[in-house]
Chains A and B, each alone.
Chain A
Amino acid sequence: MKILIIEDEPSLNKAMVDYLNHQQYLCESVNNYHDALEKTEYYQYDCIVLDLMLPGGNGLDLLKELKANQKNDGVIIISARNELDDKLSGLQLGADDYLTKPFHLPELSARIAAIIRRKSLQGNNIIRFEELQVDVLAKTVSVLNKEITLTRKEYELLLYFLVNKNRVLSKNAIATHLWGDDADITDNHDFIYTHVKNLRKKLIQYGAGDYIRSVYGMGYKFSVK
Chain B
Amino acid sequence: MKLFAKYNRINIVATMLVFVAGCVAFYFVLRYVLLRQLDESLRTEQTEILFYIKEHNQLPEVVSDAYNQRITYTEIKGPLPPVTYFSEKYWDAKENEQEWERKLVFGITAAGKNYRATVTKSQMETEDLLQMVIIIGAGMLALIMLAGYVINSIVIKRLWKPFYKTIQEVEQYQLAKQQPIQLPASGISEFDLLNQRLTSMTEKAQRDYTVVKEFSANAAHEMQTPLAVIQSNTEALIQDEQVLQKHNTSIQTIEQSVARLTRLNQALLLLARIENRQFLLNETIQFDAIVKQRVEELMELTASEKINFQLQLTPVAVAFNHHLADIIVSNLLNNAIRYNKEGGTIIVELTPERFTISNTSVLPALETGKLTSRFYRHPNTKPDGNGLGLSIVNQVCEMAGYVLHYAYVNGLHVFSIALKTA
Contact = CB atoms under 8 A, between A and B. Distances in A.
Contacts of A136: none
A12 B225 contact: yes
Size range of the chain A interface in the assembly: 35 or more
Contacts of B48: none
B200 interface: no
Given A186-B301, A190-B304, A102 B230 contact: yes
Contact of A102 (B221, B231, B244, B334): B231
Interface in A70-114: 78, 80-85, 100-106
Nearest to A151: B300
Contact of A80 (B224, B239, B258): B224
Interface string B205-246: 000000000000000011011011111110110110100110
B235 A170 contact: yes
A217 B233 contact: no
B227 A101 contact: yes
Interface in B291-348: 297-298, 300-302, 304-305, 323, 330, 334, 337-338
A83 B276 CA distance: 12
B301 A179 contact: yes
Contacts of B330: 181-182
Contact of A217 (B248, B259, B262, B338): B248
A102 B301 contact: no
A2 interface: no
Contacts of B251: 218
Nearest to B335: A185
Interface residues of B, number: 45
Given A184-B263, A216-B245, A15 B232 contact: yes
B204 interface: no
A101 B235 contact: no
B273 to A, nearest CB: 7
Interface stretch (A16-24, A140-148, A204-212): A16-24
A100 B262 CA distance: 10
Contacts of A11: 229, 232-233
B184 to A, nearest CB: 38
Given A186-B301, A215-B241, A19 B229 contact: no
Contacts of B256: 172
A155 to B, nearest CB: 14
Contacts of A84: 278, 323
Interface in B251-306: 251-252, 255-256, 258-260, 262-263, 266, 269, 273, 278, 297-298, 300-302, 304-305
Contacts of B232: 11-12, 15-16, 19, 102-103, 105
A167 interface: yes
Contacts of B236: 15, 18-19, 105
Contacts of B302: 185-186
Given A101-B224, A101-B227, A191-B301, A218 B273 contact: no
Interface of B: 221-222, 224-225, 227-233, 235-236, 238-239, 241, 244-245, 248, 251-252, 255-256, 258-260, 262-263, 266, 269, 273, 278, 297-298, 300-302, 304-305, 323, 330, 334, 337-338, 384
Interface of A: 9, 11-12, 15-16, 18-19, 22, 78, 80-85, 100-106, 153, 167-168, 170, 172-173, 176, 179, 181-182, 184-186, 188, 190-191, 194, 215-219
